[in-house]
Amino acid sequence: MLEIEELHAGYGGTPVLKGVSLRVGQGEFVAVVGPNGAGKTTLFKAISGTVATRSGRIRFQGTDLAAVPASRRAHLGIAHVPEGRQLFPSLTVMENLEMGASTEAGRRDWARNLDRVLAWFPILAERRSQLAGTLSGGQQQMVAVARGLASSPHLLMLDEPSMGLAPAVAEFIFERLAEIHREAGLTILLVEQRVAEALESADRGYVLEAGRIALEGTHAELRRDDRVRQAYLGM
């Protein structure tokens, strides 16, 4: 579904990604893990088109994204749930979800998608008329994920969904993501610093360090790797 080949990208004169190659197959749950500053967020911004690529190629369902402006990529079926949630705080929960449903597919599937996200996140049904900015951090993250799902994506990209959340709340979010992947068969690409939880949820994973892919493998292979165990799992 998603193929990235020798991607170089960055900001101004500063290179961040240095020849990154990875793939995400249809229906897979893939995690990209690594330390702060490794380039994980830049990778997502390159896919969604908000950071220009310097060289390399990104293909999504056979389409070269270099020819697709950022404003059209969501309509191809790419949903980017950004780091820090970035909700519209002065809009209600429902209004935020409606903003997510602005794609052609999202408008078409609105009723079905709304039923599904409220089943996965029941608290949002209770808070549907509440301003998003007054919600707890965990509830805001649920809105952010639900807003992405409202677009009827083929690929759901989640950038650090556990950021700033208590461990129990983060665990709930990971459980819901696994449930969504299982029940909807949705392709998920996750960037996360909580390496143990990310690898537990994912089919495969990549370790990104200093803008390069350092390791890749199934979740079991990466959890057994001594470098991953020592650097990220505290083992």
Give me the residues of the chain with pLDDT under 70, please: 233-235
Q: For 38-59, how does the pLDDT look when each residue is reduced to its tens digit (9 = 90+)?
A: 999 999 999 999 998 999 999 9
Tokens 């390791």 -> residue: 215
Closest CA relative to residue 162, chosen from 148, 150, 151, 177: 177
**CB contact at 8 A, 231 and 38:** no
Enter the DSSP assignment of 100: H
Tokens 């949705």 -> residue: 186
Tokens 């350092």 -> residue: 214
Residue 162 CA: distances (Å) to CA of 47, 138, 191, 194, 206: 21, 9, 10, 8, 18
Whole-number pLDDT of residue 196: 85
Q: Which domains does the chain have, with CATH numbers?
A: 25-38+75-205+212-231 (3.40.50.300)
Alpha helices, DSSP H, located in the chain: 40-48, 70-76, 93-100, 104-108, 110-120, 122-126, 137-149, 167-184, 195-201, 219-224, 226-231
Whole-number pLDDT of residue 168: 93
**CB contact at 8 A, 118 and 94:** no
**CB contact at 8 A, 32 and 205:** yes
Give the number of residues written for the chain. 235
**CB contact at 8 A, 100 and 148:** yes
Tokens of 144: 């952010």
Phi, psi of 194 (to 5 degrees): -80, 85
**CB neighbours of residue 201 within 10 Å:** 20
Distance CA 193, CA 33 (A): 6
Whole-number pLDDT of residue 89: 96
Handedness of CA 72, 158, 39, 83 (dihedral sign): positive
Tokens of 99: 């903003």
CA angle 93, 169, 46 (to 5 degrees): 70
